[in-house]
Every structure is written in C-alpha cells, then in structure tokens.
C-alpha cells in the first residue's frame, strides 16, 4: 500500500494509526488504507475510528472533518493507542496521571506482600521493580518531565518504599519511628524512578539519532550542555549518548 509522505502509517496488530501533516494528506492516506483493506476482505469500522488534531491552536481543524465512503470519523480530544493516552495538546502530565493511577491500583493489590514480615526486603524490592514499576514507566522514554511531575513520581515511589522498609526501632529509646526520605534512600540502593526515566529517555534519543536521515530523523540536542547540574544524574551512558549526539 502506498501512502503520501514518509512513515505516515503506524500499525500494531489491529490498531492502525494514520499520521498526516494536514487534513488533505490524512484523507488521502485514509482512503488508501480503506481501499487496501477492501482488497483483502477487511473493513474499516467508522464507529470505532477516531480523528484527532494535535496543535497548539485549540481551534485548528474544527471546520474540517474526515469523511470517507459516506462515513464521517468522530473527532476526539484524546484516545488510547497501544496503552498510551494521546491528547490533542500532546499533554504528558495527563499520561503521567494515568500511569500513576495504574501504579496505585497495582500497589494496592500487593501492599499486603510489601508489609509482610515473611518476605525479605530484597524480595519486596523485586516485587516493586518487576510488578509495580512497569505500570508506571510504560512509554516513559518520550516523557518531558517538569519539576511538578518529578515530584509526583517521587511521592509515589516514597509511598511504596515506606511500605517496604516500614518504621525503624531506635536503639537508644526503643521507640519505633518513621524513616526520613534520606534514610530510606540510603537503604534503597537501586536507581530512583526519576533517574530511571531520564536514563531511558537518553537511550531512546540514541536510538532515534542512529536511525539517520534516511529514516526521516535529523540530529537533535536536548537542553544546554553548559547546564551540567541539570544532567548530573544521567550516569555514564547518558553522557556518552549526549557526547555522541553533539558530534553528529
């Protein structure tokens, strides 16, 4: 099937996403998809097909509709594609909120295990990293975090770690007291959630840059390298990727 433009068709199983820089290109590619599906005996369901315009201008595309074979596709402000929430404003905070809700639901289902005295701390940490954390970090490679989002993610992780490590008994007074975040972080030696996100984001940036111009990608640079304090927690791999990108 031939489409107008470069890499305008994204398909995963029966979820097909058509991307276009304008309504005209989108209609052409949608018509090509409908024609191709008819040749194989398949059919595009208009009631299950949605259309969304992503633009800073909230009124963009309001006067246009996608109509093919006497079927008009509904225009929406957000929809889920392969588990990720996409919005017409490309709002990352909304996706993070959705991920945190799923993470909280998963945490509530296993919190009895995290507070059990029969399980070791290492096993509880493995439960957190292999069961809970994937719900939160799904698709985080493309997230652009603000300080507010970073704080929300840290609050979530501290809540889980508070359940895992629990209170500590003072050796002098014998009283039980809650651990401070600094003490809890010393016990949790693995990379923190925000650092994991930044590391994955830099790894994804390396993959994109290595695609080259033949794949429709041009060299890019994130941030100002002079602001070293903003990149101090990227680790060695992050600095290698940044240096490699800057040489392109």
Query: Would you state the pLDDT for residue 119?
Result: 93
Q: At what angle do helices 147-165 and 92-114 cross, to 10 degrees?
A: 0
Tokens for 209, please give them.
């840059």
Residues in the chain with pLDDT < 50? 6-7, 218-248
| 24-77 pLDDT tens trace | 777 787 788 778 778 888 777 777 788 888 776 666 656 666 777 777 778 888
| Average pLDDT of the chain, as a whole number | 77
> What is the distance between the alpha carbons of residues 46 and 49, in angstroms, rounded to a whole number?
5
Nearest to 73 by CA among 26, 25, 20, 11: 26
Query: Would you state the pLDDT for residue 150?
Result: 93
pTM above 0.75, yes or no: no
Tokens for 203, please give them.
């790894």
Query: Would you state the pLDDT for residue 240?
Result: 42
Query: Would you state the pLDDT for residue 224?
Result: 43
Give, in order, the Cα–Cα distances in Å from 56 to each of 86, 88, 89: 14, 8, 6
Q: What are phi and psi of 194, to 5 degrees?
A: -70, -40
Q: Element (H or E) spanning 195, and its range?
A: helix 193-211
Contact present, 217 and 205 (Cβ < 8 Å):
no
> What is the distance between the alpha carbons of residues 66 and 46, in angstroms, rounded to a whole number?
11
The number of angstroms, rounded, from the C-alpha of 56 to the middle of its chain's C-alpha atoms is: 20
């Amino acid at each position: 099937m031939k489409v107008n433009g470069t890499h305008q068709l994204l398909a995963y199983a029966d979820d097909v996403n058509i991307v276009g820089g304008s309504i005209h290109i989108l209609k052409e590619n949608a018509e090509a998809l409908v024609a191709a599906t008819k040749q194989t005996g398949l059919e595009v369901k208009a009631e299950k097909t949605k259309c969304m315009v992503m633009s800073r201008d909230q009124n963009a595309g309001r006067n246009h509709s996608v109509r093919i074979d006497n079927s008009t596709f509904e225009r929406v402000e957000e929809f889920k594609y392969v588990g990720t929430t996409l919005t017409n404003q490309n709002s990352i905070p909304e996706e993070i909120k959705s991920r945190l809700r799923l993470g909280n639901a998963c945490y509530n289902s296993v919190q009895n295990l995290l507070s059990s005295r029969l399980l070791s701390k290492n096993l509880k940490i493995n439960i957190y990293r292999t069961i809970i954390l994937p719900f939160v970090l799904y698709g985080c490679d493309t997230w652009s975090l603000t300080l507010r989002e970073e704080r929300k993610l840290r609050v979530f992780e501290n809540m889980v770690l508070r359940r895992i490590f629990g209170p500590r008994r003072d050796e002098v007074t014998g009283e039980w007291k809650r651990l401070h975040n600094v003490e809890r972080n010393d016990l949790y030696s693995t990379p923190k959630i925000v650092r994991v996100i930044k590391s994955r984001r830099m790894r994804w940036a390396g993959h994109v840059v290595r695609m080259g111009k033949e794949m429709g990608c041009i060299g890019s640079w994130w941030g100002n390298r002079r602001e070293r304090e903003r990149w101090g927690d990227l680790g060695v791999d992050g600095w290698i990727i940044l240096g490699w990108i800057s040489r392109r």
